[in-house]
Amino acid sequence: MQVIKIIINNFRLLKHTEIDLEKELSLIIGKNNCGKTSVLTALTKFFGDQGNANNFNYDDFNIDFQKELFECLERDVTDWGKKRCQGIELYVFIQYNETDNLANISSLMLDLDPNNKTVVLKVEYALNDISVVTLKDAFEKYYERFKNNKNSKLTKKECYDKFMHSKSRQFFKIVYKAILFDKIAGKICPDKFRVIDKRKVELTKIISIKYIAAKRETMNKDNDGSLSGLSSKYYERIKEDDENPVIQSFEDALVNTDVSLTKVYDGLFENVISKVKKFGGIKENETIVKIISTLGQQQLLKDNTTMVYEAGSHQLPESYNGLGYLNLISIIIQIETMLAEFRCDNKVNAKPADINLLFIEEPEAHTHPQMQYIFIKNIKDLLKDGSKGDDIRNKINLQTVITTHSSHIVAECDFDDIKYFQKITPTNVISKNMRSLEAEYKDENDPENKRFKFLKQYLTLNYAEIFFADKVILYEGDTERILLPAIMKKIDQEETDKTKLPLLAQNISLLEAGANSQLFDKFLQFTGIKTLIITDIDAGKEQRTMDKNGHEKIVIKGTEVRKGNTTSNNALKYYYSLPLKTWRKTILNFFVTRNSEQKILISENGSWKQSKHGKLMVVYQTEEQKDENKYYPRSFEDAFLFYNREFIIKNIDGFNSLKNVKQIDEKVGGTSEYKYTAYELAENCIKSKPAFPMDILLCSEPDENTDFSNWQIPPYIREGLLWLRED
């Protein structure tokens, strides 16, 4: 038996969010403030040990829902009964099989079809038709007090907010329902339900939820003993195991210690006791006062147990550990304690719940990357072992949900376990299964789905941080990788519009895509991340030639833009395939004539089309003008050489990445005209492409405005980065 899906409506950012859960481990990832913690909070408020209406407050309602309720109160509350959703809703989809004990979930079973093995439990914190009338009357009376007060400057909406913050719990109530699941249609039937009486149905027998919060009691301040305190909590869960020889030894040691200490106390307190006898007038053979030792196991562990770590022959206190190590120990102890609670270890006649959900928030806190790798590698084994049970312990159905911001944990996690949270509006978040991305990449021309396999491996091994980025830049190679941070900083320093957030202050991930950025298109559509692709126009000229079998074929030979008629850049052809279909001129001319707005694309029905509202921009070289000279570069290198030729000439001794350096400054005859174009210099003079950007940075000079004052950014890159900087 397992939870296969959770739907949450109207809870904070989760306006309508569906989350599929895996049988063992689900990893929830996403950018900051995208509702990951809200999933846990909603579940614990409904199903936690203290689950009741008093746990909810007005701020828990989705903002859109708050507005809808206010508008309804303003118009006619009879509209409220027409609404499908009248409060916060939680749907829990439970799937079972033939071997499961169905006693606890029998009250949730509304379908007699034996093939339908899905039941749905709905919990709502809702405002019914009667309560909304009462709410309206109460609010109107409340508002009258302020409306007639000349000193009050509150609007009706502001009064409404104040009223709901203090009074909402009086009108909203928690209701539990069993909802029919239509197996054929694959969806719930909200109108077909049974109200569940919590007094008759113990929901805790169906589902048990525990969590390890991100704010854990671990610190490395002097004299802190947070971990030592956890030892007593752990002992509390195992102390009833009478058959455990370790427990027996512990109790025997305490008894023996009590006897020994009592003898010591006789001497230690003899003087005090003798005085008590005098003051009390106690006579021989009458009741006497005696101080004995009564060590309590749990209190002993709590107050007198110190966790240390050994360094050679020395024992150092727990506070001397790093926070990462303390955090790891804390999580493991808490997991073991909670597993014992799930199993109902040593509780007479107690049975575990049918389903046990364990949430772990941000296990990576304070830990270095290697420890994060180790954690996610071993967590499944730890949880699997804890859920097995044995002759003494009960076996449990355990599902674990981990939320994380760690790219290292993502990199080591099973790709299919990932749930990606994406904020699609300021008030709504959706959850996407990375498993479903595989279907997006399926293509009849790629039966083995090699593109998806490449993407999966590439992202998890190298660029898992993209899952947490707000924006991303796909670049071609080493030159851009080395220079882009400097270019972004230069733009931040040069731009005068301070209302815009600097590029380096934004959460932008850089990803090397080479000439294959088209491989990422489905992923970019899937995540909805604002993306800038920086690539080369790669001008070429089609030529007819013969292959080795004597058949004619067309090849593209690289050339200057002014001499070309097409491009060898497949990524450009891919992203612009839709507008290219209607183009009647040469392919190269199409790209040459694009303006900035025409380079912005939006995803629609699996294809990319031009739209100024799009989240993808593909930039490449444009026609450049310096002084009176115009030039159209083919690559980054010749674009940079065209704009910064004098910079390179001035610092030529610092450019060890160049060869044939005489060509850079060579003139035509006795004129001031350069003999070689920037394209020719890029072809003839660059000895090492990775070393070229390093030389640029080494020869850079700062001034009062920027750290890189003596060279210019190619305009097409500036064009793209300024677009990316916008919200």
pLDDT tens, 655-666?
A: 999 999 999 999
pLDDT value for 290: 61
What is the pLDDT at residue 408? Answer: 85
Which is higher by pLDDT, 520 or 77? 520
Mean pLDDT of the chain: 85
Element (DSSP H or E) covering residue 429 = strand 428-433
Let me know: does 398 contact 381? Beta carbons within 8 Å: no
Residue 353 has a pLDDT of 94
Q: What's the pLDDT at 647?
A: 97
User: Residue holding tokens 């004052």?
Assistant: 709
* C-alpha span between 402 and 208 (Å, rounded): 16
How much is the pLDDT for 291?
Answer: 60
Each residue of 496-524: pLDDT tens digit? 888 889 999 999 999 999 888 999 999 99
**Looking at residue 279, what is its pLDDT?**
46
With a threshold of 0.75, does the pTM exceed it? yes
Instruction: Look at residue 218 and tell me whether its pLDDT is greater than 80.
Output: no
Q: Which of 51, 28, 91 lies closest to 399, judged by CA?
A: 28
691-701 tens-digit pLDDT? 999 999 999 99
* pLDDT number for residue 561: 93
DSSP 8-state secondary structure symbol assigned to residue 394:
P
Q: Which of 219-233, 259-273, 376-390, 640-654 has the highest mean pLDDT?
A: 640-654
Q: How many CB atoms lie within 10 A of CB 162?
A: 15
Per 3-state DSSP, the chain is made up of helix, strand and coil in percentages (nearest 5) of: 45, 20, 35
Average pLDDT of the segment spanning 464-470: 89
- β-pairing, 552-558 with 539-546? antiparallel
Q: How far is CA 289 from the centre of its chain?
A: 64
Q: What is the pLDDT of residue 230?
A: 56
| pLDDT in the model for residue 685 | 96
Cβ contact 616:600 at 8 Å: yes
CB 45 within 8 A of CB 37: no
pLDDT class of 239 with cuts at 50, 70, 90: low
- Residue at token pair 């939820």: 209
The dihedral formed by the CA atoms of 708, 710, 711 and 715, expressed in degrees to the nearest 10:
80
User: Angle between the 270-280 and 245-268 helix axes, to the nearest 10 degrees?
Assistant: 60
pLDDT value of position 216 = 54
CA atoms within 13 A on the CB side of 141: 7
Residue 58 to residue 37: CA distance in whole angstroms: 18
- The whole-number pLDDT of residue 280 equals 46
pLDDT digits (tens, 9 = 90+) for 579-618: 898 888 899 999 999 999 999 999 988 889 999 999 999 9
Burial of 193 (0-12, 13-18, 19+ CB in 10 A): middle
Cα–Cα distance, 690 to 685 (Å, whole number): 14
HSE of 93, CA atoms in CB hemisphere, 13 A: 21
Residue 29: strand pairing partners: 420
- Average of pLDDT values for 118-131? 93
pLDDT of residue 319: 46
Three-state secondary-structure class, residue 192: strand
* Sheet containing 87-95, strands listed edge to edge, beginning at the edge strand earlier in sequence: 14-20, 2-11, 87-95, 118-126, 173-182, 187-196
**Residue written as tokens 């115009």?**
630
pLDDT in tens, 540-576: 998 888 888 888 888 899 999 999 999 999 999 999 9
Helix or strand (DSSP H, E) at 332: helix 323-343
How much is the average pLDDT of 469-474? 94
- Which pLDDT belongs to residue 605? 82
Contact at 8 Å (CB) between 534 and 517? no
Task: Please state, in angstroms and rounded to a whole number, the distance separating the CA atoms of residues 70 and 83.
Answer: 14
Residue 386, Ramachandran bin (φ over 0: left; ψ between -120 and 50: alpha; else beta): alpha
Question: What is the distance between the alpha carbons of residues 513 and 582, in angstroms, rounded to a whole number?
Answer: 28
pLDDT at 534: 97
What values do phi and psi take at 74, rounded to 5?
-70, -35
pLDDT digits (tens, 9 = 90+) for 377-425: 888 888 888 888 776 678 899 999 999 988 888 888 888 899 999 998 8
For the segment 340-369, the average pLDDT, to the nearest whole number, is 86
Closest by alpha carbon to 567, among 576, 441, 298?
A: 576
What distance, in Å, lies between the first and last C-alpha atoms of the chain?
45
Structure tokens given for 620: 């490449």
Is residue 296 within 8 Å of residue 343, measured between CB atoms? no
pLDDT tens column, 46-63: 886 544 556 899 999 999
Summarised one tens digit per residue, pLDDT across range 608-630 is: 999 999 999 999 999 988 877 88
Token readout for 413 is: 């996690």
Name the residue among 442, 195, 237 with its Cα closest to residue 337.
237
Q: Give the H/E segment covering residue 624.
A: strand 624-626
Residue showing tokens 């749990």: 298
Looking at 191-205, 212-226, 398-412, which range is the least confident one? 212-226
Q: How far apart are CA 665 and CA 422, in angstroms?
A: 53
The DSSP code for 473 is E
- pLDDT top residue among 97 and 267: 97
Distance CA 714, CA 666 (A): 23
Query: What six digits make up the tokens of 710?
Result: 């003596």
Is 104 a residue whose pLDDT tops 90?
yes
H/E segment holding residue 616: strand 616-619
Helix axes 478-494, 691-698, angle to 10 degrees: 30
pLDDT at 285: 52
At residue 303, does pLDDT exceed 70? no
Condensed to tens digits (0 to 9), the pLDDT of residues 28-49 reads 999 888 889 899 899 988 886 5
* Per-residue CA distances from 710 to 245, 640, 647, 651 (Å): 77, 12, 7, 10
CA–chain centroid gap for 703, Å, is 40
Alpha-carbon distance values, 363 to 215, 369, 416 (Å) = 10, 12, 20
Yes or no: say if 537 and 567 are a contact pair by the CB < 8 Å rule: yes
Angle between helices 156-167 and 129-147 (to 10 degrees): 120
Residue in 114, 126, 148 with CA at minimum distance from that of residue 56: 126
Contact 143, 98 (CB under 8 A): no
Q: Beta strands of 389-427 (E only): which ranges? A: 398-403, 418-425
Predicted pLDDT of residue 324: 55
CA dist 218 and 186 (Å) reads 45
Give the confidence band of 164 by pLDDT, cuts at 50, 70, 90.
Answer: very high
